């Protein structure tokens, strides 16, 4: 059963397995383990970014496609929910229409970009996607009557998803199960299902062809695989999953604007998460998204607490570095250190470490057996 769920792709490292299980159970029980609005918001963002980063890793890590348009599909999902809910009202039929429209638009646009652009060299394709994403951001910012412009769109969600709704009269394990928690579990289970689907895709024969194309596209073409078709299909699957992630974020925030889904800063964050976690692993999306989201959410608070405790007091340079305003500097330092010590990503490093240990153990056993 576990093999079917994980598609035969196990973590292949006890440390990685433990870390993934801790993250899974922490996210699954977040409303009960971490009471408060901020921890729940961080947990929801981790779920969304795990799916978004995993969908991008399908392109970058498994297919070798460098795209800067991924946040465009993320934004299509967000605006799909926002536009429909703001115009048709907070209903389940509006939500269904929004997600269907977002998936269709994102998939069609990804297919068109792929068919017309994937024949060119990688750097030119990256530039084309950057130009398309920038144009989409400008349109979303300028079409105020349709997208809300720079101010974005606020909207209501169905009543069962509102904080005022109560599923039970009495608290469950000391926590009031309201509409906000119901929304969180919709985000959690949808992101988990999307991640498992991507895991299935990369471990299928289709995924094997994608990896073959990544390693040597000319050999794959010579073997009879239409490279452009496979890359285009991978782009469509990736775009659809990114749109789903954007839709889930819009459902959680009840607000969608250019800065929440279309900003190039989000694209940079996604790239960092892929690199930190490990390209071509998917499990790296879980590790990278969790570490980056937690760091971005709490690093400034931690530095502020250190300042209140008087850390570095009397030492001008140190006290300046430990200022809460320097949290981006420390985030950059953490990223540099992670790349230096984990050049293949955290997942790649853990898997290599465990494989080396197993090989050494096997060599010792074979050596002792030969001596006997």
Q: For 195-221, what is each residue's pLDDT tens digit?
A: 999 999 999 999 999 999 888 888 888
Helix (H) / strand (E) element for 154: namely strand 153-154
* CB-based contacts of 124-129 (< 8 A; 24+ apart in sequence): 125/65, 125/66, 125/67, 126/66, 126/67, 126/68, 129/67, 129/68, 129/69
The per-residue pLDDT for 74 is 95
Helix (H) / strand (E) element for 61: namely none
pTM higher than the cut 0.95: no
Contact between 244 and 76 under an 8 Å Cβ cutoff? The reply is no
The per-residue pLDDT for 213 is 87
**Cα 30 from Cα 23, distance rounded (Å):** 10
Fold of 2-371: ABC transporter involved in vitamin B12 uptake, BtuC (1.10.3470)
Question: Quick check: 231 pLDDT over 80?
Answer: yes
**Cα 271 from Cα 288, distance rounded (Å):** 10
**Cα 149 from Cα 166, distance rounded (Å):** 34
**Cα 145 from Cα 152, distance rounded (Å):** 10
**Helix/strand/coil percent split, the chain, to 5:** 75, 0, 20
**Cα 116 from Cα 109, distance rounded (Å):** 11
Give the pair of three-digit tokens for residue 305.
């607490």
144 band by pLDDT with thresholds 50, 70 and 90:
confident
**Domain map (residue ranges) of the chain:** 2-371
Q: Which of 256, 289, 257 is closest to 273 using CA atoms? A: 289
Q: How does pLDDT run across 267-306, given as a tens digit for each residue? A: 989 998 998 998 888 999 999 999 999 988 887 777 777 6
Residue partners of 111: CB distance under 8 A and separation at least 6: 232, 235, 236
| Share above pLDDT 90 across residues of the chain, in percent, rounded to a whole number | 40
Give the pair of three-digit tokens for residue 262.
């279309």
Q: How does pLDDT run across 12-28, given as a tens digit for each residue? A: 889 999 999 999 999 99
Question: Quick check: 46 pLDDT over 90?
Answer: yes
Give the length of the chain: 372
Give the pair of three-digit tokens for residue 346.
């955290």
Give the pair of three-digit tokens for residue 297.
């959410």
Question: Quick check: 311 pLDDT over 60?
Answer: no
The per-residue pLDDT for 354 is 84
**299 or 151, which is more confident:** 151
Q: Which of 48, 19, 2, 46 is closest to 347 using CA atoms? A: 19
């Amino acid at each position: 059963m576990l093999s079917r769920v994980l598609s035969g792709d196990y973590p292949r490292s006890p440390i990685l397995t433990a870390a993934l299980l801790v993250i899974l159970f922490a996210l699954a029980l977040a409303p009960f383990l971490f009471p408060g609005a901020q921890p729940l918001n961080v947990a929801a963002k981790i779920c969304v970014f795990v799916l978004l980063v995993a969908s991008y890793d399908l392109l970058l890590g498994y297919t070798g496609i460098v795209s800067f348009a991924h946040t465009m599909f993320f934004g299509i999902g967000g605006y799909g929910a926002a536009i429909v809910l703001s115009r048709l009202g907070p209903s389940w039929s509006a939500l269904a229409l929004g997600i269907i429209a977002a998936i269709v638009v994102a998939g069609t646009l990804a297919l068109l970009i792929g068919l017309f652009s994937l024949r060119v060299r990688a750097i030119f394709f990256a530039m084309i996607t950057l130009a398309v994403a920038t144009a989409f951001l400008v349109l979303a910012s300028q079409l105020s009557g349709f997208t809300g412009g720079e101010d974005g769109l606020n909207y209501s969600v169905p009543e069962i998803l509102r904080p005022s709704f109560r599923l039970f009269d009495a608290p469950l394990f000391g926590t009031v199960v309201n509409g906000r928690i119901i929304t969180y579990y919709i985000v959690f289970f949808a992101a988990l299902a999307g991640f498992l689907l991507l895991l299935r895709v990369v471990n299928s024969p289709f995924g094997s062809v994608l990896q073959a194309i990544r390693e040597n596209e000319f050999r794959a073409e010579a073997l009879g695989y239409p490279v452009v078709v496979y890359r285009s299909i991978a782009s469509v699957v990736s775009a659809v999953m990114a749109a789903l992630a954007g839709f889930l974020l819009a459902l959680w925030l009840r607000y969608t604007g250019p800065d929440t889904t279309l900003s190039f800063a989000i694209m940079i964050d996604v790239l960092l998460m892929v690199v930190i976690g490990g390209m071509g692993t998917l499990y790296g999306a879980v590790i990278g998204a969790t570490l980056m989201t937690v760091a971005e959410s709490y690093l400034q608070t931690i530095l502020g607490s250190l300042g209140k405790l008087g850390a570095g007091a009397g030492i001008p340079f140190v006290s300046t570095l430990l200022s809460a305003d320097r949290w981006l500097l420390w985030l950059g330092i953490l990223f540099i250190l992670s790349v230096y010590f984990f050049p293949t990503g955290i997942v790649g490093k853990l898997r290599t470490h465990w494989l080396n240990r197993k090989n050494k153990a096997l060599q010792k056993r074979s050596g002792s057996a030969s001596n006997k």
